[in-house]
Amino acid sequence: MSLAHSFEQRGNWLFKRRGWIPMVLFVPATLIIWFYTYEWISFHNIFWSVGCLVISFAGLGIRIWAIGHTPRGTSGRNTTQGQIAEKLNTTGVYSLVRHPLYLGNFLMWLGIILYVGNITLLIGVVAFFWLYYERIMYAEEAFISRKFGAGFQAWSAVTPAFLPKIRGFVKAELPFSLRNVLKREYTGFFLTIFCFSLINFLKYWSYHGTPDLDPLWLFLLPFSMIVYVVLRSLKKHTQILHVEGR
pTM to 2 decimals?
0.92
29 vs 41: CA distance, rounded Å: 16
115 vs 122: CA distance, rounded Å: 10
Choose among 49, 78, 68, 47: nearest CA to 193.
49
High-pLDDT (> 70) share of the chain, %:
93
170 pairs with which residues across the strands?
92
Domain ranges for the chain? 3-175
- 25 and 199 in contact (C-beta within 8 Å)? no
pLDDT recorded at residue 51: 97
Determine the topology of domain 3-175 in CATH.
Four Helix Bundle (Hemerythrin (Met), subunit A) (1.20.120)
Backbone φ and ψ of 165, nearest 5°: -85, 165
pLDDT category at 70 given cuts 50, 70, 90 is: confident
**The pLDDT of residue 79 is above 70:** no
Alpha-helix runs per DSSP H in 39-118: 46-69, 100-116
Q: Who contacts 191 (Cβ-Cβ below 8 Å, separation ≥6)?
A: none
pLDDT, tens only, 6-23: 777 887 888 888 888 888
Mean pLDDT of 106-128: 95
31 vs 12: CA distance, rounded Å: 30
